[in-house]
Amino acid sequence: MVYTYYEIGKLIVEDEQQGKTRAKYGKKVLQQVSKDLLNEFGKGFLVQNLERMRLFYSIYSKSSTVSRNLSQPEKAELVYTRKFYMNEVLQN
């Protein structure tokens, strides 16, 4: 599941947002991706979950290349996100 969440986050950032932090204003990318995934796979792909997947990808991909250069807030966000997904893995 962790790998799947990472890959969905990657798809959102790299394909849907063309590598930008956010999609262009008004595109409502996450709402459309959520609708498509819910139709194809069922529950678990609400916008809030997709936001977490996007954040998960962004933090982990960034941390693997520049972990020494993270600011204190970025490090705290990384720790929080890592704990969140570790808890998800343990619970499921």
Range of the domain at 41: 2-91
Count of helix runs (H) and strand runs (E) in the chain: 4, 0
- Asked if 6 contacts 56 with a C-beta cutoff of 8 angstroms, the reply is yes
The count of structural domains within the chain is 1
The string of pLDDT tens digits covering residues 35-55 is: 998 999 888 889 888 988 888
Q: What is the pLDDT of residue 29?
A: 78
What pLDDT sits at residue 62? 67
The answer to whether 33 and 46 have CB atoms below 8 angstroms apart is no
Q: What is the pLDDT of residues 57-79, one digit of tens each?
A: 887 776 555 556 667 787 788 77
The pTM of the full predicted model, rounded to 2 decimals, is 0.60
- For residue 64, the model assigns a pLDDT of 58
Helix (H, G, I), strand (E, B) or coil at 63: helix
Rg of the chain taking only CA atoms, in angstroms: 14
